[in-house]
């Protein structure tokens, strides 16, 4: 028996971009009935053997992410690869709008039949955006895209969230003096596989070369990651505007991806990510249940007072609240 969801799944598998857009809209929907359909769609498509290379890309506003993705994406489609671009935009949590949502940012790539660009879902919670983006990644993968680029502005937790759904994580930075190096949080350096110093052109070229050397030095001080070849993580210069260094950056990404595939690190990383997201979903679900259950809310309130006044121990009081959630649905 074929139903609406199976037809949609078939169209997504066939690489129909409009169907893919509709499928993503479905997984982004907050409506309960849509959620149920979305879950089924994702289950139907879960058996897909297709695997894209998922590349996370982060950088502060103005560093050149859109320019880079446009140039890099077009280079890849010219090589015959199909490229999807998704975004996790933490600012949408604050403004309700999406700064990464502007399709006109990447006009040439947006018109390319081998590319698919999806703006960031507007959501009030970064956790919600993460889930929807993750689902969108799975849909793009099932639709046969070779590369899925997941873009984020480097603020707050969004880099970690994106790194947790990527096979490779690329950090785009601007040329700057040694002081700026401090500006990149150590945690971000630790998750970056490739640091690309953009705008290595014109007057900035020399500064960019120095910046690359600074970062290369800093990266060497970090412990070599298990499962990675010599020389990684790596810092390289690029110019998104001139297109310089893009093929070298792609060669490095491909080399790292190949290496990780061969060693089994790729599979292990995906397995760990899947487990992480599963556990995250369970936690979020529990939290939702708690928030949606008026009795539990009231108990939280009452017990919260008792704990604050020292009449109950925090752990025991928490067990009381959790016991109310058990078993019900
Ligand atoms: P985003 O906010 O990270 O998406 O950055 P954009 O792609 O919008 O670029 C911000 C500004 O930097 C724009 O004025 C771009 O033209 C400029 N820009 C981007 N890439 C380069 C580059 O490789 N070289 C130079 N010189 N400027 C660039």
Residues touching ligand 1 (Cβ under 6 Å) are 59, 61-67, 198-199, 201-202, 239-241
If you measure from the C-alpha of residue 65 to the centroid of ligand 1, how many angstroms do you get, rounded to a whole number? 7
Counted domains in the chain: 3
Residue 2 domain flag = yes
Mutate to test the pocket of ligand 1, among 67, 73, 85 (most ligand atoms within 8 A of CB): 67
How many beta carbons lie within 10 A of that of residue 327, not counting itself?
A: 6
Residue 235 and residue 198: Cα distance in Å, rounded? 11
Say whether both 74 and 211 belong to one domain. yes
pLDDT given for residue 157 in this prediction: 78
- Full domain range(s) for residue 3: 1-47
Q: How far is CA 212 from CA 234, 241, 310, in A?
A: 9, 18, 55
User: Atom 6, ligand 1: which residue's CA is nearest?
Assistant: 64
What pLDDT, on a 0 to 100 scale, did the predictor assign at position 207?
A: 92
Answer yes or no: is 217 within a domain: yes
Question: Are 111 and 150 spatial neighbours (Cβ–Cβ below 8 Å)?
Answer: no
Ligand 1 pocket test target in 100, 201, 240 with most atoms within 8 Å of CB: 240
Q: Give the domain CATH number at 1.
A: 1.20.5.170
Q: What is the spatial distance between Cα 307 and Cα 172, in angstroms, rounded to a whole number?
A: 47
Beta-bridged to residue 244, according to DSSP, are 239
> Cα(199) to centroid of ligand 1, in Å?
7
Do 291 and 320 belong together in one domain? yes
> What is the 234 CA–ligand 1 centroid distance (Å)?
22
Residue 268 covered by a domain: no
| Domain shared by 255 and 279, yes or no | no
What's the pLDDT at 103?
47
Ligand 1 atom showing the smallest separation from residue 172 Cα: 3
Averaged pLDDT, groups of 10, the chain, 329 residues long: 87 95 91 90 87 93 93 97 88 49 73 90 65 92 96 81 93 79 71 95 93 89 79 95 97 96 92 92 85 86 94 92 69
Same domain, 282 and 157: no
pLDDT score of 273? 94
CB 237 within 8 A of CB 174: no
> Both 91 and 210 in a single domain?
yes
The verdict on 280 and 300 lying in the same domain is: yes
Query: 188 and 56 share a domain?
Result: yes
Q: If you take atom 7 of ligand 1, which residue's CA is the nearest one?
A: 64
Index of the ligand 1 atom closest to the CA of residue 198? 23
Q: What is the pLDDT of residue 169?
A: 95
Q: Whose CA is nearest to atom 14 of ligand 1?
A: 62
Same domain, yes or no, for 144 and 159? yes
Give the mutation target among 59, 63, 64, 249 for probing the ligand 1 site: most ligand atoms within 8 A of CB.
64
Residues 4 and 73 in one domain: no
- Same structural domain, 65 and 166: yes
Question: What CATH number has the domain bearing residue 78?
Answer: 3.40.50.300
């Amino acid at each position: 028996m074929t139903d609406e969801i199976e037809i949609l799944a078939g169209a997504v598998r066939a690489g129909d971009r409009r169907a893919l857009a509709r499928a993503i809209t479905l997984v982004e929907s907050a409506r309960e009935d849509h959620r149920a359909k979305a879950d089924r769609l994702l289950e139907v498509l879960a058996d897909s053997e297709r695997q894209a290379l998922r590349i996370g890309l982060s950088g502060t506003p103005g560093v050149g992410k859109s320019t880079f993705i446009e140039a890099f994406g077009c280079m890849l489609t010219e090589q015959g690869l199909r490229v999807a671009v998704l975004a996790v935009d933490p600012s949408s949590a604050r403004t309700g709008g999406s700064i990464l949502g502007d399709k006109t940012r990447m006009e040439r790539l947006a018109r390319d039949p081998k590319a698919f660009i999806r703006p960031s879902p507007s959501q009030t919670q970064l956790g919600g955006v993460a889930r929807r983006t993750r689902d969108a990644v799975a849909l793009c993968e099932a639709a046969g895209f070779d590369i899925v680029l997941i873009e984020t502005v480097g603020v707050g937790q969004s880099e970690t969230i994106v790194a947790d759904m990527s096979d490779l994580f690329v950090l785009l930075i601007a040329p700057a003096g040694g002081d700026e190096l401090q500006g990149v949080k150590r945690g971000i350096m630790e998750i970056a596989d490739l640091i690309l110093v953009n705008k290595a052109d014109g007057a900035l070229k020399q500064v960019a070369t120095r910046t690359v050397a600074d970062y290369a030095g800093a990266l060497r001080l970090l412990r070599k990651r298990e499962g990675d070849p010599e020389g990684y993580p790596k810092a390289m210069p690029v110019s998104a505007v001139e297109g310089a260094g893009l093929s070298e950056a792609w060669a490095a990404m491909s080399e790292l991806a190949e290496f990780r595939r061969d060693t089994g690190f790729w599979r292990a990383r995906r397995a760990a990510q899947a487990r992480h997201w599963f556990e995250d979903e369970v936690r979020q679900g529990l939290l939702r249940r708690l928030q949606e259950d008026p009795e539990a809310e009231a108990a939280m309130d009452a017990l919260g007072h008792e704990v604050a006044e020292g009449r109950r121990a925090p752990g025991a009081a928490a067990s009381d609240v959790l016991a109310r959630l058990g078993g019900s649905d």
